[in-house]
Amino acid sequence: MNIEQKVTELVEQKIADRPDLFLVDVKMHSNGKLIILMDGDEGIGVADCAAISRHVGHHLEEENVIDHAYHLEVSSPGIDTPLKLQRQYEKNIGRRISVKLEDAQKREGKLLQVSEEGITIEEQKKEKGKKAELIESFIPYNQIAETKVLISFK
């Protein structure tokens, strides 16, 4: 079992009684930085991140899982971090998103629905000489290279 799998197991243990929280990603970088990205249906607070950090750190030390110096960081994904999980998409229904497709096309619109297969967005289509109209488009996950939430400062 590698470090990332072990850490995933430890996090899942710690949040077993918290169905509102979920693990987004675990990455062990070659520079010794171990990053755990957590989220929650209603967001995640500093206290939860600290508790997860203590739990994981304690077990990694006790079981001597990592044989070199490392820095453990537990946080929520930043606003510029692409969405990875269906649960993250669900959390952002109603917000504007930017979707980069595998074929390098870009699509933008309001996230309307999320399913097992993909997402539905409402986007503006503008044809020459016609008024822009709102249309709903379904985008399968397997066509999505990256999705980011667009932040409006209005």
Full domain range(s) for residue 45:
3-75
| pLDDT score for 64 | 85
Looking at the fold, whether 113 and 63 belong to one and the same domain comes out as no
**Where does a domain end: 56, 75, 94?**
75
CATH number, position 43: 3.30.300.70
Residue 91 inside a domain? The answer is: yes
* Residue-level pLDDT at 79: 83
Q: What is the pLDDT of residue 108?
A: 96
CA dihedral (152, 121, 137, 129) positive or negative: negative
Whether residues 91 and 71 share a domain: the answer is no
Domain boundary among 19, 46, 75: 75
Could you tell me the CATH number of the domain that includes residue 120?
2.30.30.100
Alpha helices in the chain (DSSP H): 3-14, 46-62, 86-91
Taking Cα atoms as reference points, which of 70, 55, 44, 42 lies closest to residue 12? 55
Residue-wise pLDDT tens digits, 100-134: 999 999 999 999 999 999 999 999 988 888 888 99
- Whether 80 is covered by a domain: the verdict is no
- Tell me: do 7 and 67 sit in the same domain: yes
Q: Residue 29 pLDDT more than 80?
A: yes
Q: How far is CA 18 from CA 5, 14, 74, 134, 136, in A?
A: 20, 8, 16, 39, 35
pLDDT on residue 17: 96
Q: Are residues 71 and 90 in the same domain?
A: no
Domain termination residue (choose one: 75, 98, 120): 75
Q: How confident is the model at residue 51 (pLDDT cuts 50, 70, 90)?
A: very high
Model pLDDT, residue 106: 96
pLDDT of 66 over the 90 cut: no
Share of the chain above pLDDT 90, in %: 79
Asked, for residue 52, whether it belongs to a domain, the answer is yes
Q: Looking at the structure, tell me whether residues 57 and 119 fall in a common domain.
A: no
pLDDT band, very low/low/confident/very high, at 86 (cuts 50, 70, 90): very high
The whole-number pLDDT of residue 69 equals: 87
**How many domains is the chain built from?**
2
Averaged pLDDT for residues 44-64: 94
Q: What is the pLDDT of residues 89-100, one digit of tens each?
A: 999 999 999 999
Retrieve residue 121's tokens.
């967005």
Spatial CA neighbour of 15 closest among 42, 35, 39, 46: 39
Assigned domain for 154 exists: no
Q: How much is the average pLDDT of 135-151?
A: 96
